[in-house]
Amino acid sequence: MAKTALVIGKFYPPHRGHKFLIDAASEKNNIVHVIVCHKSDQIPEGNLRKAWLQEIHPNAIIKVIDDMYDPTDSVLWAQMTKIWLGFIPDLVFTSEDYGVEFSRLLGAQHVLVDKNRINVPICATQIRINPWQYWEFLEPPVREYYAIRVVMAGAESTGKTTLSRDLAKVYETNWVPEFGRSYSEKKIREGTNDDWVTSDFVTIATEQCRLENNAARLANCVLVCDTDAFATAIWHRRYLKDRSPEVEAIAFSHRCPDLVILTDIATPFEQDGVRDGESIRGWMNDIFLEELIKSKRRFIMVKGTPQERLEQACSEINKILKGPVDINQVG
């Protein structure tokens, strides 16, 4: 007969040690309840951590509580847990010493799992300090959150795609191509490439964001993007001679990149059958520069040969990888 099992913690953030614990609680068809303890100053916040856990453990029953209690008061925690659950669980799974007394006060059987972190040698504090050092311990939805997003920006034929591919090779990761290019190629085939409307750019911006988020789940710490919705908003101005509040809203509601790499225009223009903006590369470059400064995005401009550009980009990315998490950027 299935029993009710409880796992309680901050999951700040969830990692594969937590997964190991919840998987252990799920054995023998136990009905698993997970309580996520959240404080108002914690980022990522509790409801997001709950969403990650729900994706990782779709059969678990998960709730978030406001953590305002003395962590050493097991009597109070046992009393509140009964209120939160509405029943006394059969089993409590923990990896901590507090679990014995907490379970006794709750009236449940304690199950200790991997206390010495032999099976999964990680703790959440390590991840909060530098998630990229412990990437192997993160599940896809958590990787999506912490992946360092590096976005190319610039006028046509300034080496953005070449640099994207080269960076992906250096960091052994994936890169996100420009959806707008395939969209433009389709319009050329259909003979509608001279007929652009705002809804085209809304479609491009929305799909580019979706592709980026999906790719972040598969990235190896760094995700390289050939473009983003921010650039799509600028291309709207280029083609339709006006701003689009709708496209810009998509861009600014999306996760801000950790680094934008602006490619300068001192490169030969290569016509590939799609490009048509050689004469306005200077204007495009100025608009990108103006908007990057205005939006306070972190960016660098790379110049020189492809190898020199690659070295400049890697130098800046490595600064991010070695530093602490900027909680104002992620999410």
Mean pLDDT of the residues in the chain: 94
Read off the pTM: 0.92
Tokens of 59: 């059969």
Q: What is the average per-residue pLDDT within 33-56?
A: 98
End-to-end CA distance of the chain: 41
Q: How far, CA to CA in Å, does 213 sit from each of 55, 95, 219?
A: 15, 32, 10
- pLDDT tens digits, 264-276: 998 765 655 555 5
Average of pLDDT values for 58-73? Answer: 97
Q: Residue 300: which of 145, 151, 146, 149 has the closest Cα?
A: 151
pLDDT at 222 over 90: yes
State yes or no: pLDDT of 158 exceeds 60: yes
In CATH terms, are 4-129 and 147-322 the same topology?
A: yes
Choice between 9 and 327, residue whose per-residue pLDDT is larger: 9
Task: Determine contact, residues 209/250, Cβ cutoff 8 Å.
Answer: yes
| 328 band by pLDDT with thresholds 50, 70 and 90 | low
Boundaries of every domain in the chain: 4-129, 147-322
With DSSP H G I counted as helix, E B as strand and the rest as coil, what are the percentages for the chain, rounded to 5? 50, 15, 35
Q: Is a pLDDT exceeding 70 seen at residue 243?
A: yes
Neighbours of 57 (CB within 10 A): 20
Beta bridge partners of 263: 302
* Residues in Cβ contact with 152 at an 8 Å cutoff, skipping those fewer than 6 apart: 160, 161, 163, 164, 224, 225, 226, 227, 260, 261, 263
Give the integer Cα–Cα distance in Å for 175 and 211. Answer: 10
- What are phi and psi for residue 110, nearest 5 degrees? -90, 135
Query: At 199, is the secondary structure helix, strand, or coil?
Result: helix
Question: What superfamily does domain 4-129 belong to in CATH?
Answer: HUPs (3.40.50.620)
Architecture in CATH for domain 147-322:
3-Layer(aba) Sandwich (3.40)
Which pLDDT value is given to residue 323?
A: 74
Instruction: Give tens-digit pLDDT for 99-129.
Output: 999 999 999 999 999 999 999 999 999 999 9
| Residue 62: alpha-carbon gap to chain centroid | 22
What share of the chain in percent tops pLDDT 70?
A: 94
pLDDT bracket for residue 277 (50, 70, 90): low
User: Which of 19, 16, 13 is closest to 93 using CA atoms?
Assistant: 19
